Each structure stands twice: as structure tokens, then as C-alpha cells.
Amino acid sequence: MGVNLKPLGSRVVVEPIEEEEVTAGGIVLPETAKEKPQKGKVLSVGPGDRDESGKRIPLDVSVGDTVLFAKYAGTEVKVEGKKLLILRESDILAIIESK
């Protein structure tokens, strides 16, 4: 029997995708003070926050989406050995699609 995380409100559970920070040719140094985002896969999504009249606002990301999010956003949680992140949808910058 496994465990399932049901995020509340506009939160999503994301499994981070670690990427090589060192390129073939050597070390990559950050060029600017700008925050670097991180990639991840959406594992589950909350029901959405409620609007003023009490109706849910559905999320724009879906289970299975690959997303970019701010690197230090959210809360880290270990579920069955996997390191997951619980983020608010507002911490997600973009969905990465193949074209």
C-alpha cells in the first residue's frame, strides 16, 4: 500500500528533474544575479482556490506537465524515498512543451 499526496487549494505536487549544472566544456558560472528556475513534473494538483462567490478556480497546470518553477519556492517533502515539492501554482513560471 502506497501513499498519495492530495495538495490543498492552488497547490501542486512536483517531482523535481535534476539537471547537469556543469556543461561538457567546464563549469557554468551564473552570469547575473537573476534567479535560475528549476524543472519538474507535476504529480498532483489541488482543487484550486475559491473565488469571492465560493467557486473553485481550476488550475492551469495538469498532472503530467513538465514545468519551470523558482528554485527556492515551495516545501520539500520525502514520500516513499522520493524527494517531492509542494508548490503554489503561482510559483510556476511556465509549462515546457515539445514542439
Chain residues binding a copy of itself by CB under 8 A are: 1-9, 11, 13, 31-37, 47, 50-55, 57, 60-61, 68, 70, 72, 74-77, 83, 85-86, 89-90, 92-99
Cell of 19: 539537471
Q: CA 78, CA 47: separation in Å to the nearest integer?
A: 22
- For residue 22, the minimal CB distance to a copy of itself (Å) is 14
- For residue 15, the minimal CB distance to a copy of itself (Å) is 14
Q: CA 32, CA 53: separation in Å to the nearest integer?
A: 43
- For residue 41, the minimal CB distance to a copy of itself (Å) is 15
Q: Are 74 and 93 in contact (CB under 8 A)?
A: no
